[in-house]
Amino acid sequence: MTKPPSISNRTGRKLGQKVKKGKLKASSRRWLERHINDPYVQRAKLEGYRARAAFKLLEIDEKHAILKGARRIIDLGAAPGSWSQIAAKVTGSTEDDVRVVGIDFLEVAPIPGVKLLMMDFLDDEAPKAIMDALGGTPDLVISDMAAPTTGHQKTDHLRTMHLCEVAAHFAVDVLGEGGHFLAKTFQGGTERDLLNLLKQNFKQVIHIKPHSSRAESVEMFLLAKHFKGRKAGGEDEGAAEDADSEG
């Protein structure tokens, strides 16, 4: 069961450490202190995950069982690779039988059993490259993509929501019937067109704020469960405001 880590976290490292004043700006020093004192960061190191984001996926799966029975998984915005690590484990993906494909414009260190593509998901060639590498129909499309932040909340929201929308259209194009789609969004309202697309094509659409997501973060996750299949989706099952939400 994925629970918030205890304050000691079994790492031997004390929380509440301070970073010495030096050439670092105050804002950078505060970020570094928060990072090294984050129990999820310490737990990720202890359990061999590349990033604390692993626990967001595990926490969502604990309640919604989206990884159960998954045979092939696509990881959009894979860097640094913690979600792909989990995907490879649950699918039994190996170098000889690759069942997980990750894509990111950043370089990702090799992960056993994962085919990693270093390219921008927004490139026209990306969808075909992903499917060619996967060699079959995915049961799950996961996306932790977020546009580089500008500091302007509305701009950041719109840019990340665009990535989410493109990912959603991709998921509808490639998922097998009964599959799931999970993507990062930002608080500030999910566009009606995106929610309508998902409601038309999936049986359930949920907003989630995992406990492992930092309280001050504006990120949320949009989960669409049980893909109806590409011949379905002609009906609008509700307005955007009707999407379920949990936190």
Catalytic center residues: 184
Indicate the DSSP class of residue 39. H
DSSP state of 107: -
Residue 163: alpha-carbon gap to chain centroid: 12
Structure tokens of 211?
């406990």
Nearest to 45, CA basis, from 67, 12, 3: 12
b/e sequence 134-158, b meaning 16+ C-beta within 10 Å: beeebbbbbbbbbbeeeeeeeebbe
What count of residues does the chain have?
247
Q: Quote the CA–CA distance of 127 and 171 in Å, as a whole number.
A: 10
